[in-house]
Structures are given as C-alpha cells and as structure tokens.
Amino acid sequence: MAEVRFQRIGLVLHPQRPHAWGLAEAVAEYLQRIGREPILLPAETLDRVEIVAGWDLAITFGGDGLVLRVARYAAPAGVPILGINLGRVGFLTEIQPEEWLEQLSRVWEGDYWVERRLMLEACWIREDQRQGPFYALNDVVIGRMGLGRIVRVRVEIDGRYFTTYIGDGLIVATPTGSTAYALAAGGPILPPELKNIVLVPIAPHLSLDRAVVLDEGVRLTLTVHTEGKAALTIDGAGDEPIAEGDRVEIAAAPFSARFIRLRDRSYFYRLLATRLRRMVADE
C-alpha cells in the first residue's frame, strides 16, 4: 500500500483576502475526496500551539503576513507549512492560486523538499516578571513609538557588554527577516537556510551604524533606556509598550520553521532578483 502523506491538514485563511474562503473550501472538498482530513479555520482563531498539535500539514491562504502568524504556532508543534499566495510579494508562500490542484498532487506524490528556517525565541522582563516566550520568524524589534526622544538599547552578547545603540530602535532579525524590515533599514540579505542572527540599528545617532551578523548560538540581552515611549514588536505584531529598564532576552528557538518547497533550491535568488528589479522600477 502506498504511503499516505499528510493526513490531517489545517487550512488557515486570511478572512480579508478576496477569494480566500472560496479557494479554501474548494481545497477542503478536494482533500475530503482523496481521503484526507481538512480542518478549516480563519487566521484570527489561531492563537495557541495546541490548535495545530496533531496536524500533519498547515496550508495557508493569504500572503507572507499570514505565514508569519501560522509559523508562530506551527513551528513549535513541528508542523510544516505550505503557502498558497493571495498576497503581493510571496517570499514565503509557494503556490499560485490557479495551480493549487497540480501542485498539491505533487506533494502527495512526494515531489517536494523541506526548507528549514531559523526562529527566534524572545522573553520580555520587567522588574523580574518574565513574559513569554514569544516566537518570531522575521524579527524582534525595539523601537520608539511616534515622534519623540531617541531610544537607547544596551546589548549584551552571551552575558558580555557589546554596545549601546542610540536612535529610533534596533532590529534583531533572522535570515528570513533579512529581506523584510531589516533590509529597509540597511541590513544585509542572507539566504533563508542560514542560522545567523542579524542586529540592524534603525536611524542610528552617534552610535554603531552598521549591521552585525551573529552566530545562531548567541544569547542576547537588550536593555531599554528611554525618556519617551518605546515598543516591542514581534514579526510586525504586538507593539507592546516597554519602559525604562525593561529587558528583552533573545536566542535561537529550539526548533525551526519548516516549509514544503516545490521549486528548485535556487528559487530564493530568482525571487530576490525579481523583487529588486521591481524596487528599481518603482523608483
């Protein structure tokens, strides 16, 4: 008997994307016909790891932002992700909506490879009260809120003082996040399967103004010093107000985000070149 690949499949959709519901329902009907068990749910109902525990695969119907949200819960549960692109950029998604039937058939036949991407684990500490852990596929950002005073972020690497960034904030990014906010702030572009962590200052003022690439095994402690308002943002979500003396501890998570890939292994460079050409054309 042939192996049955991915029996219980979560279908997570972005409720505000046009055609997401209809496409997800069509895929669910197809999965039922071939003997799979689809679980259909809107993205806003996915808020804890236990929901995806027991899934064999998560299929997303949206853009890269939805993939970031799903990875937060699927990665700790060891559930691989396959994205159907209903967004614009599609750095993380894999399938175009018009080709879903053909491409899913390839998955069932085993014609795919698994890409593993570094995740970050962050804890927020205030007066010895610890919150977290929180998980990020792109980045953890400490930044000022609105117009106001600069933020000072003291950085320790493995318990030793490294530097203090002064400016609008600091981005701690994964290789996945190196093509997101970190790139806009002047950081380097890293291939997605590297295991490095990148520090990228935001609008630095009289402080280190270059990005720094760190080994995956480091542990960071960021201490915030500000007379204004600052916020902690994880993968673009949260904007949690942080105060003078708050600390954020960051390290590589003990698991990776896993993605089902159907393109060849050099796809990232072609996609990156396309995006960079588009950026130049838009200038």
Q: How far apart are CA 227 and CA 144, in angstroms?
A: 10
Return d(Cα 218, Cα 197) in angstroms, integer. 8
Task: Name the nearest CA neighbour of 73 among 44, 49, 43, 54.
Answer: 49
Tell whether the torsion through CA atoms of 6, 8, 11 and 12 is positive or negative: negative
Active site residue 64: yes
**Cα separation, 191 vs 266, whole angstroms:** 10
- 187: its two tokens: 């950081």
56, 64, 139, 239: the active-site residue: 64
Helix 100-108, helix 20-33: angle, nearest 10: 40
Contacts of 58 (CB under 8 A, 6+ apart): 9, 10, 12, 52, 70, 74, 79, 80, 81, 82
Cα–Cα distance, 176 to 190 (Å, whole number): 8
Active site residues: 64
